[in-house]
Amino acid sequence: MIRWLAPALGILATVAIALGGCGGKTDTGDAGSDAATGIDGASDGPMCTYQDTRTASERTCSVSADCAVVVRSVSCCQEENEGILSSAAPTFNQQQAALTAGCPGCGCAAQPVDELGVKGTSFVATCDNGLCTAHAQ
């Protein structure tokens, strides 16, 4: 009955060696200093976060003509249209694209809303009480 144990252990050892030699990651004990790139030095891929990167100064306005609408993914299937200074919109869009580049597709159509949670199909930005704010139409 024990005759099968030795060959089985030999097969397991061979498999373990083969897997280790095929790009398996090993922990070098560096206490996480490689969190951004992965243990083996390779990139862990694009980031996925739904963080809002607008600052208060990027929303401060004098007139509605100062404002533009930007779209931010707030979850897999929801987009929020937000008001921001026209001059800050390109940087915001680049930041959001980088933050959500690794987000998986969800198989659902985005449900666009404005900053107040009102659903819409088109949005405008106005200067409300000194802040750019998006509104559903």
| Beta strands, E only, the chain | 67-75, 78-85, 111-113, 123-128, 131-136
Tens of pLDDT, residues 72-122? 888 888 889 999 999 999 999 998 888 888 888 778 887 899 999 999 999
pLDDT for res 23 = 29
Token pair for 46 = 């694009």
Tens of pLDDT, residues 30-56? 333 333 333 444 456 677 877 777 788
